Structure 1
Amino acid sequence: MPGKAQHFQGPQVSCCSKYLLFASNVLFWLLGAAFLAIGLWAWAEKGVLSNLSSITDLGGFDPVWLFLVVGVVMFVLGFAGCIGALRENTFLLKFFSVFLGLIFFLELTAGILAFIFKDWIKDQLNFFINNNVKAYRDDIDLQNLIDFAQEYWSCCGAHGPNDWNLNIYFNCTDSNPSRERCGVPFSCCVKDPAEDVLNTQCGYDVRLKLELEQQSFIHTKGCAGQFEKWVQDNLIVVAGTFVGVALLQIFGICLAQNLVSDINAVKANW
């Protein structure tokens, strides 16, 4: 109508995409910071931070590395997604998308390779467990991780209790002066429901007994086989978890790309 001003509504940034991406990445950012803090605290407790050369001294896997790597990845991704969405910064949003896409691609590739090379993966798992059995007493975090795995999966060693011969404290050689000689860690023991107090010496001398007798005192199945059985028994849960994580990653990438498109459309209209 003549005399009435007409207002043209140009492209706008979707508030839903912006604040949904921001909120989810704030949580991601804080979780990453928490993982980093736990990892650094664990290293500080072990004196690693005061002597950085000791990082390479361990013969086995240091579980703290897992916290640090996951923490760094989550912190960087959370920062890029959070600040990128809040400040409508296309560089950070594109970095977030590419980084998350790369992680998704690596996960997909690892899954396909694991399915194709199942036997090789199993051999590597056996090697990994046995390598860490050797270093059982060298690091308290590694020790706790192995004890947790053996208790949770009701197993002992990679293939069986005799794998503990690889450890200098548990091997059966005559020259071994350790009281734990020919034994296994307490986490291998079959728990007695009647016992309220944990008997940490329950594995002493147990490998001096016949294998049939050992079954009354300790778990005789290897952790590699038990882990494989657990995955098969919980295949739906494991597969569902991976699919759920993948969908969240794809959703995050789509949100970021949608936001970048909105920002570019707004800028083009200036």
Structure 2
Amino acid sequence: MSRKHHHIKGAEVSCCVKYFLFGFNIIFWVSKHSFCTVCLWGVLSNLSSITDLGGFDPVWLFIVVGGVMFILGFAGCIGALRENTFLLKFFSVFLGLIFFLELTAGILAFVFKDWIKDQLNFFINNNVKAYRDDIDLQNLIDFAQEYWSCCGAHGPDDWNLNIYFNCTELNPSRERCGVPFSCCVKDPAEDVINTQCGYDVRLQGELDRQKYIYTKGCVGQFEKWLQDNLIIVAGIFVGIALLQIFGICLAQNLVSDVKAVKANW
């Protein structure tokens, strides 16, 4: 009698695994809200107009990923709390599928890195063209140029693509032959940003420009940033991968505990 009681007592669902898995799925819910924010920005900014993907709108990719993460988060949370083996298996299988897709995407990104570079160049140049047309895109390219200390896709002359900054004689804009303030080399002594610092700067020679603005393109600076931070970037991706494997292991462990308990009924 005592032996039978001991056997039943030994087969129980681990509360630590159960609530660890529940907490893990909270990450999916938070991530889902982040993707929804990106989707909303993309819809309002008409992201498809500044990408060269054959008419495909990248926003739909974010919507699909956000929807999948919502479903996975729901399945994981309910499966953990209700000890539902079907939902837990669904969660672990699809999380494994996502891990495989991410691994495939990483390999394809390495193989087609030249295509990705061309897409980045196309994206930046289209941002340059639409710089004054959309405040969100304007803030995006200003942030990129300030963060990576760059100007244009390949250099300041890329701003000839913009109707306000081009150097044609018919251009009546005061910003003619200039660049946005985000291209300017910052003076540490200045507390207030001088938004007119880039006026007429491209009328000067190459050496004179370097005193006032960044002369390197954002594509090259982004590549340099990736190389300089390769360990950090790789560490983030490895960390995400390990987190997904950890979630799969938790779900499978919880399924095994539930099956062991049911086997003793």
| Band of TM-score, shorter chain | 0.7 to 0.9
* Structure 2: distance between partners of 1:20 and 1:125: 39
The one of 207, 211, 223 equivalent to 1:216 is: 211
Question: What amino acid maps onto 1:212 in structure 2?
Answer: L
Deviation at 1:112, TM superposition (A): 1.3
Task: Return 20-29 or 151-160, whichever deviates more.
Answer: 20-29
Corresponding residue for residue 126 of structure 1: 121
> Higher helix share goes to which structure?
2
Per-residue CA deviations over 1:215-269 (Å, capped at 9, x if unaligned) read 1111000111111111111111111111111111111111112222332343344
* Structure 2: distance between partners of 1:247 and 1:129: 33
* Structure 2: distance between partners of 1:183 and 1:213: 14
Corresponding residue for residue 22 of structure 1: 22
Deviation at 1:92, TM superposition (A): 2.5
Question: What amino acid maps onto 2:23 in structure 1?
Answer: A
Per-residue CA deviations over 1:102-156 (Å, capped at 9, x if unaligned) read 2222221121122223323222221222122222222222211111111011001
Corresponding residue for residue 80 of structure 2: 85
Report the TM-score, using the length of structure 2 for normalisation.
0.84
* Counterpart contact for 2:45–2:136, Cα < 8 Å: no
Gaps of 5+ in 1: 49-53
Per-residue CA deviations over 1:155-210 (Å, capped at 9, x if unaligned) read 01111111112222222223322222221111111011111110111111211211
* Structure 1: distance between partners of 2:6 and 2:59: 57
Are residues 1:106 and 2:101 paired? yes
Are residues 1:36 and 2:26 paired? no
Per-residue CA deviations over 1:27-63 (Å, capped at 9, x if unaligned) read 44245336636865x68xxxx7xxxxx6648733699
Question: What amino acid maps onto 1:170 in structure 2?
Answer: F
* Counterpart contact for 1:190–1:217, Cα < 8 Å: yes
Question: What amino acid maps onto 2:49 in structure 1?
Answer: G
* Counterpart contact for 2:154–2:219, Cα < 8 Å: yes
Are residues 1:194 and 2:189 paired? yes
Task: Return 126-135 or 28-37, whichever deviates more.
Answer: 28-37
Corresponding residue for residue 139 of structure 1: 134
* Structure 2: distance between partners of 1:212 and 1:73: 52
Aligned with 1:59: secondary structure? helix
The one of 222, 236, 239 equivalent to 1:241 is: 236
Are residues 1:76 and 2:71 paired? yes
Corresponding residue for residue 51 of structure 1: none
Gaps of 5+ in 2: 52-56
Deviation at 1:5, TM superposition (A): 8.5
Corresponding residue for residue 7 of structure 1: 5
* Counterpart contact for 1:59–1:132, Cα < 8 Å: no
**Percent identical residues:** 79
Alignment of 1:153-172 (within 5 A): 153-172=148-167
Runs of 4+ in 1 over 4 A off after TM superposition: 37-40, 54-58, 61-74
Question: What amino acid maps onto 1:222 in structure 2?
Answer: G
Are residues 1:257 and 2:247 paired? no
* Structure 2: distance between partners of 1:268 and 1:138: 65
Report the TM-score, using the length of structure 1 for normalisation.
0.82
User: What's the RMSD between the two structures over aligned residues?
Assistant: 3.0
Task: Return 120-129 or 197-206, whichever deviates more.
Answer: 120-129
Are residues 1:60 and 2:50 paired? yes
> CA 1:94–1:170 in 2, change beyond 3 Å: closer, same or farther?
farther
Aligned with 2:166: secondary structure? coil
